Structure 1
Amino acid sequence: MSTLPVNWLTEGLLDFEYKKYLLLAYLKAARNEFNKQRLYPVFSDLIMHYRNLQQVKAHKQLVYESFPKRISRADFEKLELVYEKIVNDDETMQQIEEIIQYATPLFTETLEEGKELYSFVERHLEISPVGITPMYHNEGYLFLDAFPGKETHVYVYNITVFENTYEKYRGINTKHLQTVRRGLAQTHEQLKVQLLRERQELPNPAAFVAIAKVPMPLEQALLPIAKRSLVKYVTGLAA
């Protein structure tokens, strides 16, 4: 799809009509992705761009933490130097603020569409434990059942906790192990027992199944939301 550079506000021709053209093309492509129920990675990019607009509007600065992982600290520092020069130019900054004023409600509107899609997918995703759940839930197996079909995508997951001055975050890493066809002879419980026999590195793992109730793309919607839903579910167990 059409993408928007992370430094689109300062990159290239600093002209309102040009920036408007870039923005509208990007948002149109984002909506097309949503229409196909492809939520990621476009939803994350939209959030990043929106946060940057808000930071620039409020503080006239860029915030490294808002940028995606693909931009390095060194690249960000170069971008920051360019931006500092622009901030010191009143005429140029006035154009930037005009672009921000135009872009903010458009980002807000498109983000709302993304939130509605996220909520729809989340509502039609059912998470439950498989077998007896141990006291430790931060690593184990995630069984993911797409709709329709009888295939189960098996992932090993690990939840990490990190915090800054203000709040605590939980992140999740997954690794795809296999995809199996289920039936009367291969239930989720039996699949867990099989994994216990085959993989000795997790002797007493937690296991959860996420079952989709409606069709949705695996990589662009189902898996990312299942991972976030699992973090939320496990956090609730630990409360």
Structure 2
Amino acid sequence: MNTLPINWLTEGLLDFEYKKYLLLAYLQAAKNEFGKQRLYPVFSDLIMHYRNLKQVQEHKQLVYESFPQRISRADFQKLELVYEKIVQDDETMEQIEEIIQYATPLFTEALAEGKELYDFVERHLEISPVGITPIYHNEGYLFLESLPGKETQVYTYNITVFENTYEKYRGINTQHLETVRRGLTLTHEHLKAQLVKQRKELPNPATFAVVAKVPMPLEQSLLPIAKRSLVKYVTHLAA
């Protein structure tokens, strides 16, 4: 899809009409993705751009934590130097603020549409444990399905915990193992038993099935939301 550069506010021609053209083309492409029920990566990009706009508007600075992982600290520092020079130019800063005033409500509208799609997908996910669940839930198997259909996507998952002074964060990594076409005789329990026999490194794995009640794109919507939903589910189990 048509993407918006990370440093679109400061990159290239600093002209209101030009920036407006870039922004509207990007937002139209984002809405087209939402219309096809494709939530990622566009939704996370929208959040990043919106946060940057608010930071610039409120603090006149860029914040590294708002940027996606694909930008390195070194690249960010170069961008920060460029921005510091621009901030010192009152006329240029006036143009940037004009662009921000125009862009902010448009980003807000697009984010609301993305949030609505996210909530729709999440509401139609059903999570259930497969077999006996061990005490340790942070590693195991994820069975992912979208109805109608008989294909099950099998993943290993690993939940990691990051802490700072104020908060605790949980992230999840998944690795796709196989796509299984299930029949009446191959239940989730039977599939788990097969995996235990084949993969000795997880002798007593936590296993969860996530089933989507409506069809949706696997990579762009189902998998990323299923992963977030599983983290919440496992966190609740551990509470």
TM-score norm. by structure 2 comes to 0.99
Cross-structure match for 2:144:
144
Q: Deviations over 1:86-118 (max 9, x none)?
A: 011111111111111110000000000000000
Residues 153-232 of structure 1 correspond to what in structure 2 (within 5 A)?
A: 153-232=153-232
Cross-structure match for 1:121:
121
Which consecutive aligned stretches of 4+ in structure 1 deviate over 4 angstroms post-superposition? none
Cross-structure match for 1:236:
236
- Give the Cα–Cα distance (whole angstroms) in 1 for the partners of residues 185 and 141 of structure 2: 20
Report the 3-state secondary structure (helix = DSSP H, G, I; strand = E; otherwise coil) of the residue aligned with 1:71. Answer: coil
- Give the Cα–Cα distance (whole angstroms) in 1 for the partners of residues 72 and 207 of structure 2: 35
Cross-structure match for 2:46:
46
Cross-structure match for 1:35:
35
Report the 3-state secondary structure (helix = DSSP H, G, I; strand = E; otherwise coil) of the residue aligned with 2:159. Answer: strand
TM superposition shift of 1:163 = 1.6
Cross-structure match for 2:102:
102
- Give the Cα–Cα distance (whole angstroms) in 2 for the partners of residues 216 and 147 of structure 1: 9
- What is the identity, as a one-letter code, of the residue corresponding to 1:66? S
TM superposition shift of 1:164 = 2.0
- Specify every segment of 5 or more residues in structure 2 that has no aligned partner in the other structure, as ranges: none
- Specify every segment of 5 or more residues in structure 1 that has no aligned partner in the other structure, as ranges: none
Report the 3-state secondary structure (helix = DSSP H, G, I; strand = E; otherwise coil) of the residue aligned with 2:160. Answer: strand
- Give the Cα–Cα distance (whole angstroms) in 1 for the partners of residues 32 and 111 of structure 2: 13
- What is the identity, as a one-letter code, of the residue corresponding to 1:111? L
Report the 3-state secondary structure (helix = DSSP H, G, I; strand = E; otherwise coil) of the residue aligned with 2:2. Answer: coil
Cross-structure match for 1:19:
19
Report the 3-state secondary structure (helix = DSSP H, G, I; strand = E; otherwise coil) of the residue aligned with 2:128. Answer: strand
Q: Percent identity?
A: 85
TM-score norm. by structure 1 comes to 0.99
Report the 3-state secondary structure (helix = DSSP H, G, I; strand = E; otherwise coil) of the residue aligned with 1:178. Answer: strand
Q: Deviations over 1:11-65 (max 9, x none)?
A: 0000111000000000000000000000000000000000001111111111111
- What is the identity, as a one-letter code, of the residue corresponding to 1:19? K
TM superposition shift of 1:147 = 2.0
Report the 3-state secondary structure (helix = DSSP H, G, I; strand = E; otherwise coil) of the residue aligned with 1:99. Answer: helix
- Give the Cα–Cα distance (whole angstroms) in 1 for the partners of residues 116 and 142 of structure 2: 25
Q: Deviations over 1:65-96 (max 9, x none)?
A: 11111111111000000000001111111111
- Give the Cα–Cα distance (whole angstroms) in 1 for the partners of residues 165 and 29 of structure 2: 37
TM superposition shift of 1:185 = 1.5
